Amino acid sequence: MSVIDDVFRKLRATGRKALVAFVPAGDPDLQFTEELLQGLSAAGVTLCELGLPYSDPIADGPVIQAAYTRALARGIRVQEIFDLLQRVTPRLACPVVLMTSYAIVFRRGLEGFVQECARRGVAGLIVPDLPVEESRPLADVCRQFDLSLIQLVTPTTPPDRALRIAAESSGFLYYVTVTGITGERDQLPAELTEKVAWLRKHTDLPICLGFGISRPEQVTTLAQVADGVIVGSALVRRIAQAESLGRQAALEQTLQFVRSLLAALPQGEVARKT
């Protein structure tokens, strides 16, 4: 059982749901990223998803892509991010998963990259540009090092392919709530609940919903039908204010927003009894 498997096993046992917080590595710098990861963990976030900056957008909207561009312009390197992880993961109460382009994995070699992740305390990988048909080699290596390979299902994924993705995934299944790129949305698709309910009937893998989630009320609604929610652009937009508001103000504003999302999650059986 991987670290992420254990996290969701404990959540299900108590009726609680996960909040996954996306953080772009190195924006505005790695020191801020380190402080933010520790703050998110202390606030009670279930998982932190750390994005490795990449020059070509995969499914990233303008907010996340701008954060990556700023980090790359400052000369951030993958090895520096691994060094950060080695420092910070032992101090976190929540696991960290990396979101990265397959090009970065391939360049270092599958086993070399995954082994480095394991050494630095990473619990799983999300590789959005790796199709399920080509994912088995990386999945096999991840399994050797007890890392989860989390794969994505979108609203336009045909049912038979969605089932294959679920079968090939580990840790949890990342269900993309909207078509298109990341970014905050005022409304989410009306048919989302029905599609997630169908998928749940066909897999025991935890399902977390991401893309477009930006408000506490959305978290409350979606947590009723999923095992967790993933929030990215709404956090990154607040992180981006480090230059205009100052680092400490941006950090506190981001953490305060996260606390409002955590408060919106169903509290589970344990909390209701106390």
The CA distances from residue 40 to 5, 29, 82, 183, in Å, are 20, 17, 19, 20
Token duo for residue 234: 């709404």
Is 269 considered catalytic here? no
- CA pair distance 214, 169, nearest whole angstrom: 26
Question: Catalytic residue among 49, 116, 184, 227, which?
Answer: 49
Question: Catalytic residue among 27, 60, 116, 227, which?
Answer: 60
- The CA-CA-CA angle for residues 265, 270, 274, to 5°, reads 105
Is 140 considered catalytic here? no
The CA distances from residue 228 to 3, 28, 64, 245, in Å, are 16, 27, 21, 31
| Side-by-side strand order, sheet with 228-231 | 148-150, 122-126, 96-99, 47-51, 18-24, 228-231, 207-210, 173-176, 152-153
Residues known to be catalytic: 49, 60
